[in-house]
Chain A
Amino acid sequence: METLIEVSHVSKSYGKVQALRDVSFQVKQGELFGLIGPDGSGKSTLFRILTTLLKPDQGTAHVLHADVLADFRTIRRSVGYMPGRFSLYQDLTVEENLRFFATVFHTTVEENYERIRPIYGQIAPFKDRRAGALSGGMKQKLALCCALVHAPQILLLDEPTTGVDPVSRREFWEMLARLRQEGITLVVSTPFMDEARRCDRVAFLYEGEIKGIDRPETILTRFSDILCPPGLERKTAVENAAPLIQVDNLVKRFGTFTAVDHISFSVQRGEIFGFLGANGAGKTTAMRILCGLSLPSEGKAEVMGFDVRTQSEEIKRRIGYMSQKFSLYEDLTVRENLRLFGGIYGVNAKEITTRTEETLRRIGLYEEQHTLVRSLPLGWKQRLAFSVAIFHRPELVFLDEPTGGVDPATRRQFWELIYQAADQGITIFVTTHYMDEAEYCDRISMMVDGHIRALDTPDGLKARFQARDMDEVFQKLAREAQRGDAAFTHAQTERL
């Protein structure tokens, strides 16, 4: 097989930070090549060098036998690239986005339609919808179509499935497998180990160096301490006193769309309550209502005995919240962020100082206390955001996809913090797309199309659905969905 990508001794640094150090590898034609490694290990830098967006400091890189420095035009014409954050125009419709990218590459959608038909077919029913109004999984499919529209020989995908639910992820990887059969060479980075297993070969990148390139099984075993950390153990001590959250027939409508459709559940004090569901199932909406960020359309919800409709300010004083998108002040230092939010929640000045010291040591950011939050790696930011959320010692904390986009070891560290907080008696309400994390919860609710379809302990759910793991439970439940990404595929199959 012909070698299509050849990287030899590439180094790149940004100021003092060495992003890549003497990186060499080759990708053969038709290969599905995976790049794995913690956040900040240099994966995106490598992609940007291969797509000729960034110049290497040292070493050479050839794509399709063309040098990335000398012959970048050839490369740009024949390589498809899907950057980590969707590069779609939110205000253009699905079809307009696709046509735009086709025009940019001097081609038309019609010319290469056969290539994208199996994927575009799934989103075609929504071709007049604004890209901004699509769910995560659909955006990702559209972005893939846009990257494929000029019939590239090589496709580079930088963490394409971050923030996407397991069902959509699986479908996405099925598409990648199909593309590979058609002879396209693929390089994909991913934080998900189940995805890494589907690659032909993976490279493990750590602190800018390639630590190993081999079959996925070999790499995952060799670096299991980082990539496959052992599970966490916890003694559950759930009190069966009055519930902390009580939800009765809660409804939230946006215009004609019912995001949350008559859900009822309760959360006990001291519990770790997992809130699962596909993209667009209504998890975030429900959580925002409970935090007092959004008003319910119907029904009743009480948090710590306060009504979300009328007493939201009382609730806000007593809860912590960590949003899906990192929302601390990036232009303040670690310490200043803790101080600010301590002050906002009325913690007194002396107490702020002692708690700050204690927190910084506990989350291992003591050395970084005067660093601007902007320059921290994502995993550290997430730890800090969690610590800010529990800094005022709330009884209850809401975490909305707190660990998106980081590697398994970092996620495990994060869950250790959650367990510590739970041991101190803080009730945890968490949404996640990682099914290994779902296993860490005491109880799980599964949302499908705005309804709660199942609510039980992880073991209870596995027994009921006769599943080996939570992933299987999720796949079985989410397949029923009438809306969301799974539903679109479903609708399309019926149409054919």
Chain B
Amino acid sequence: MMLRYLIEKEFKQLKRNRFLPRLILLFPCVMMLVMPWAATLEIEDLRIAVIDHDQSPSSQRLVHRIEASRYFQLTALPASYAQGLNAIEKDQVDMLLEIPRGFEKDQARGVSPSTLIAVNTVNGTKGVLGSTYLQQILNPQPSPASVRYQFNPYLNYKVFMVPALMTMILVLLCGFLPALNVVSEKEAGTIEQINVSPVSRFTFTLAKLLPYWAIGFVVLNLCMLLAWLVYGLTPEGNILTIYLTTLIFALVMSGLGLVISNYSSTLQQAMFVMWFCMLIFILMSGLFTPISSMPEWAQYITYLNPLRYFMEIMRMVYLKGSHIGDIGFQLSMLSTFAVLLYVWAIRSYRKQQ
């Protein structure tokens, strides 16, 4: 009964806010429409310079093959290795290919020709992948094993990113908004009027949570709609599984937000602590970098990261079509986090100092 009035108040305040409702809609749109294109780890259009000492039909063919590849962009044909290296230093090219004199002759004799590849590996992944691509062009040998790509057959990076971005949107909305909301009540002094009233800690916390739960749910649906319209991506698994997990996850994030707000006295403080947590959660969740390639100690830390479980569930259900049975471990971990953070949020909210 009391809860109804409190929730009504939250929604009225949200509606009065000129900025927040727009942000809540705009934010997922920008994230879903822009980020999958921008936040990609695919290596394309490497700038390459070829130093062709041979100047034979064979070496010309090789240069054409490189030009035709979508991974490379031929930007220069320097006369010497020194000139090429200079171009790398000036950041005009990413890699060099030096074709030696006698390249065609060697090929005709059946000796594998010795070419030199020099790569700028300031960005390691980019350099290594680039040189691998280039070697494949140099020695196009049939692969001894046949590869079948499962769940993402065209190796589309967007497919991998979309569920992760949905996670990130939920983290930011459901984590930040309740925290900032409670702290701004502290700053305005309105929380004092609530603290002298019979509103219980549980009711107050719940009234702060439920609206953001609803918002999280609306935003999730908006994201899924956009994923379908723009990328033609629909969840492989049961949509209800996604809903259930999202509800639990929204609870975890808003619980964390409420805990932080209970310990913060200014917006600045709450904002900073929240951002600190978020950054660690996101970077250690497997969103951009796979957890399995982290050092062992870091992998253990990720077990304490609720985002990790949600990210896994989203990718499993969305892309692999996993059933609720497959995600039992992740789901139970998330639920544990939800319960712990809620108890903590209610405990740390003090009506009496």
List residues of chain A with CB under 8 Å of any chain B CB: 291-295, 312-313, 316-317, 319, 321, 323, 325-332, 336, 339-346, 372, 388
Contacts and interface: CB of A to CB of B under 8 A. Distances in A.
Greatest chain B CB density within 10 A among A326, A327, A336, A344 is at: A344
28 contacts: A291-B196, A292-B352, A293-B352, A294-B353, A313-B200, A316-B196, A316-B198, A323-B192, A329-B9, A329-B13, A331-B16, A331-B17, A332-B12, A332-B16, A340-B6, A340-B8, A340-B9, A342-B5, A343-B1, A343-B5, A343-B6, A344-B5, A344-B6, A344-B197, A345-B198, A346-B1, A346-B198, A388-B193
Greatest chain B CB density within 10 A among A319, A336, A342 is at: A336
A192 B192 CA distance: 28
B23 interface: no
Contacts of B196: 291-293, 316, 319, 321
A328 B2 contact: no
A329 B351 CA distance: 18
Given A326-B189, A327-B192, A340-B9, A345 B197 contact: yes
Contact of A321 (B8, B16, B193): B193
B135 interface: no
Interface string B180-213: 0000000011101111111110000000000000
A388 B199 CA distance: 15
Contact of A327 (B9, B17, B193): B193
A343 B12 contact: no
Given A323-B192, A327-B189, A344-B2, 16 more contacts: A292-B196, A292-B352, A293-B195, A312-B351, A316-B197, A327-B188, A327-B190, A328-B193, A329-B190, A331-B12, A332-B12, A336-B12, A340-B6, A340-B8, A343-B2, A346-B2
A339 B2 CA distance: 11
B198 A323 contact: no
Contacts, number: 80
B13 A293 contact: no
A378 to B, nearest CB: 14
Given A313-B198, A332-B9, A346-B1, A295 B193 contact: no
Contacts of A319: 196
Given A293-B195, A344-B199, A325 B189 contact: yes
Contacts of A341: 193, 197
Q: Which 9 A-B pairs have the closest CB atoms?
A: A343-B5, A321-B196, A327-B193, A317-B198, A327-B189, A325-B189, A331-B16, A344-B197, A294-B353
Nearest to B197: A344
A8 to B, nearest CB: 38
Q: Is the interface of B mostly helix, strand, loop or mixed?
A: helix
Interface in B1-40: 1-2, 4-6, 8-9, 12-13, 16-17
Contact of B4 (A327, A336, A343, A372): A343
Greatest chain A CB density within 10 A among B5, B8, B195, B199 is at: B5
Nearest to B200: A313
B192 A293 contact: yes
Contacts of A329: 9, 13, 190
A332 B189 CA distance: 15
A321 to B, nearest CB: 4
A330 B198 contact: no
Given A329-B13, A331-B16, A294 B352 contact: yes
Nearest to A295: B352
Interface string B47-89: 0000000000000000000000000000000000000000000
B175 to A, nearest CB: 23
A424 to B, nearest CB: 21
Greatest chain A CB density within 10 A among B8, B192, B194, B200 is at: B192
Nearest to B5: A343
A326 B193 CA distance: 9
Contacts of A295: 352-353
Contacts of B193: 321, 323, 327-328, 341, 388
A340 B190 contact: no
A321 B4 CA distance: 22
